């Protein structure tokens, strides 16, 4: 049939094309590529007085796949680079670091431990010898929090009544005021009301803190005395 003969001729043509393609492929594999370099064209390194060139290193790995490494011929050593980088970071942090000064006032009767608490916080030491504060005592401590330098300016007012006229120096511009009393002496707790009234008269925006000192002696008191003092503290209107 005509249809059958046409199919046979198509098959013969396909076989011929496949055979020709295979022969051409084998022929091209047997011939050297035009892009390949003949070894005769490369001068011998033994007879060449020019600087040595590592051809394998240049052509064995494509540049886009080569690992990212530091330049071997760089004149800056690793230690020098690290020092420069560290100095730059330190300078950047110094430029970006902000500073804040927080004034804190401490008021209360004499001999309740105001100065001892301040010295312990600033210097980390505890002075057993009592030194009475005459007028105003002043100390500072600086700490760093989240790239910010915070300086606590602490003002301690002597507890004697003759120094009450210096109360504005301690309270004015203070962010916080510590109203302090001795847990072992009820009279110092009774004085808190007057200290609070006068201190708030000079600074109504400062954050007030009520601080009881000498707790290590207070815990040795009879339970009834502890409860009485605690109840009195809780009854304060602030």
Report the DSSP pairing between strands 98-108 and 148-157: parallel
Structure tokens that stand for 140 in this block: 């500072």
| Predicted confidence (pLDDT) at residue 224 exceeds the cutoff of 60 | yes
Per-residue pLDDT for 162 more than 60? yes
Burial of 45 (0-12, 13-18, 19+ CB in 10 A): exposed
Q: Which of 89, 107, 122, 118 lies closest to 202, judged by CA?
A: 107
Query: What is the token pair recorded at 179?
Result: 């109203």
Section 118-136 average pLDDT: 78
The domain spans of the chain are 96-234
pLDDT score of 8: 47
The rounded percent of the chain whose pLDDT value lies above 70 is 56
For residues 204-223, give the mean pLDDT. 93
233 in Cβ contact with 187 (< 8 Å)? no
Decide which of 195 and 67 is more confident.
195
Mean pLDDT calculated for residue range 196-218: 93
Contact 106, 114 (CB under 8 A): yes
What residues contact residue 114 under an 8 Å CB cut-off, 6+ apart? 106, 107, 108, 133, 156, 157, 159, 178, 180, 213
Helix (H) or strand (E) holding 34: none
Range ranked top by mean pLDDT from 65-79, 117-131, 186-200: 186-200
Question: How would residue 81 be classed by pLDDT, with cut points 50, 70 and 90?
Answer: very low
The pLDDT tens digits of the residues spanning 87-101 come to 545 555 555 569 999
For 49-117, the DSSP string reads: -SPP--HHHHHSS-GGGS-----TT-SS-HHHHHHHHHHHHHHHHHHH-EEEEEEEEEEESTTSSHHHH
Q: Which CATH number is correct for 96-234, 1.10.1740.10, 2.160.10.10, 3.40.50.300, 3.20.20.70? A: 3.40.50.300
More confident residue, 1 or 168: 168
φ/ψ bin of 37: left (φ > 0), alpha (ψ from -120 to 50), beta (otherwise):
beta
Asked if 106 and 170 touch (Cβ cutoff 8 Å), the reply is: yes
Answer yes or no: are the C-beta atoms of 112 and 159 closer than 8 Å. yes
Is the CB of residue 188 less than 8 Å from the CB of residue 108?
Answer: yes
Q: Contact, 178 vs 113, CB < 8 A?
A: no
């Amino acid at each position: 049939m005509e249809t059958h003969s046409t199919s046979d001729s198509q098959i013969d043509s396909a076989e011929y094309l496949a055979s020709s393609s295979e022969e051409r492929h084998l022929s091209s594999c047997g011939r050297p590529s035009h892009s390949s370099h003949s070894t005769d064209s490369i001068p011998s390194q033994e007879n060449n007085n020019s600087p040595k060139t590592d051809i394998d290193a240049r052509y064995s790995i494509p540049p886009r796949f080569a690992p990212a490494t530091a330049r071997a011929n760089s004149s800056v050593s690793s230690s020098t680079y690290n020092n420069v980088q560290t100095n730059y970071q330190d300078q950047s942090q110094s430029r970006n670091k902000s500073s804040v000064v927080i004034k804190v006032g401490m008021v209360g009767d004499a001999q309740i431990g105001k100065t001892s608490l301040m010295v312990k916080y600033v210097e980390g030491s505890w002075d057993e010898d009592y030194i009475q504060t005459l007028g105003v005592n002043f100390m500072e401590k600086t700490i760093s929090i989240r790239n910010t330098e915070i300086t606590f300016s602490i003002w301690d007012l002597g507890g004697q009544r003759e120094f009450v006229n210096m109360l504005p120096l301690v309270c004015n511009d203070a962010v916080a005021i510590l109203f302090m009393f001795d847990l072992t002496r009820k009279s110092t707790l009774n004085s808190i009301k007057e200290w609070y009234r006068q201190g708030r008269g000079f600074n109504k925006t400062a954050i007030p803190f009520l601080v009881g000192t000498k707790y290590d002696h207070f815990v040795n008191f009879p339970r009834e005395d502890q409860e009485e003092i605690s109840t009195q503290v809780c009854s304060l209107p602030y």
